Amino acid sequence: MTDAEVVGAAESDPDALPVTPERAPSFRPIARVKRVRERLGLSQAEFSESFGIPLGTLRDWEQHRSEPEGATASLVRAIEREPETIMRILQAAA
């Protein structure tokens, strides 16, 4: 399919409503930490245990009640890039 065909198909689909400025605020992106956790194939409990993040905190992040900040946000970015290395470092430090 060409790009024009894809656009045409989307525009003709009554279930594919366009995102208008009025509708955009209702969309919530998937939390970064949830994408990372799911990519690693870990449950919330496994991720929490593996990286030393309290389970309640992880749940709050994934449900957009709060977000990681400062050093914790840096930890999440590091886990995203090098999960095995971070896990190994944290296990060695325990």
Distance from C-alpha of 48 to C-alpha of 25, rounded to nearest angstrom: 30
**Which pLDDT tens digit goes with each residue over 67-88?**
899 999 999 999 999 999 999 9
Distance from C-alpha of 81 to C-alpha of 27, rounded to nearest angstrom: 26
**CATH topology assigned to domain 32-94:** 434 Repressor (Amino-terminal Domain) (1.10.260)
Please state the domain extents for the chain.
32-94
Q: For residue 37, how many other CB atoms are within 10 A of its CB?
A: 26
Q: How confident is the model at residue 24 (pLDDT cuts 50, 70, 90)?
A: low
Q: What proportion of the chain, given as a percentage, has pLDDT over 70? A: 91
**Which pLDDT tens digit goes with each residue over 50-72?**
999 999 999 999 998 998 999 99
What global pTM score does this model have? 0.67
Tokens 């449900």 appear where? 63
